[in-house]
Amino acid sequence: MRKVIVGVMGGGEGASEEVCRLAYELGRLIAQEGWVLLNGGRDVGVMDASAKGAREGGGLTIGILPDRNAANASPYIDIPILTGFGDGRNYINVLSSNVVVALPGRTGTISEIALALKNGRTVILLDFDLGDLFSEYRKAGLMISVKKPEEVIREIKKILADSHLFS
């Protein structure tokens, strides 16, 4: 049986302490479900915090790095994938994820949300208000907003139950 891969996207440099706390808790909960956490792999912000939570929760972490070397990889990434693609690695992030969770971030995070939606991936926004941006996807049920990491897990379970990909 294939493993469920949950992509966790969000701010790097400049991510607030609260956003990093949410990312850590989300990573821990993803690991407890036996799912794989995939993120941008760097040692900053949401990437580092979510990987740390997953690792400390006993989970497996994959980091899709923009670089050609692992110097900037989070120490909590089990499998660093070096791309040399810069922002182009965002395609790999979202296409390799069964579901994408986005925490507050800037343009890189918004580009990952857009790519995920364009490619039919469900996006769960965790305490990330995008206003009316992508409202057509929200109406279609491809973009869901929640406030707590526990709600993310519940939504992923609903998505997985409806998808039949992992049953």
Compute mean pLDDT per 10 residues along the chain, 167 residues long, and list them.
93 95 98 98 98 98 95 96 94 96 96 96 97 94 97 96 67
Question: What's the CATH code of the domain at 10?
Answer: 3.40.50.450
Tokens of 150: 């526990």
Position 162 scores a pLDDT of 86
- Tokens 């294939």 belong to 2
Confidence at residue 57, expressed as pLDDT on a 0 to 100 scale: 98
Domain count, the chain: 1
DSSP annotation of 3 reads: P
| Per-residue pLDDT at 167 | 45
User: Which residues contact residue 146 at a Cβ distance below 8 angstroms, ignoring those fewer than 6 apart?
Assistant: 124, 125, 126, 127, 152, 155
Q: Among residues 44, 33, 43, 42, which one has the least CA distance to residue 6?
A: 33
Domain carrying residue 119: 5-163
List C-alpha distances in Å: 52 to 65, 69, 72, 144, 151. 16, 20, 15, 25, 20
CA distance 158 to 113: 20
* Other beta carbons less than 10 A from residue 110's beta carbon: 16
* Cβ burial 126-152 (10 Å sphere, 16+ → b, else e): bbbebeeebeebbeeeebbebeebeeb
pTM, two decimal places: 0.95
CA quadruple 28, 32, 38, 43: dihedral positive or negative? positive
Are the CB atoms for 63 and 91 separated by under 8 Å? no
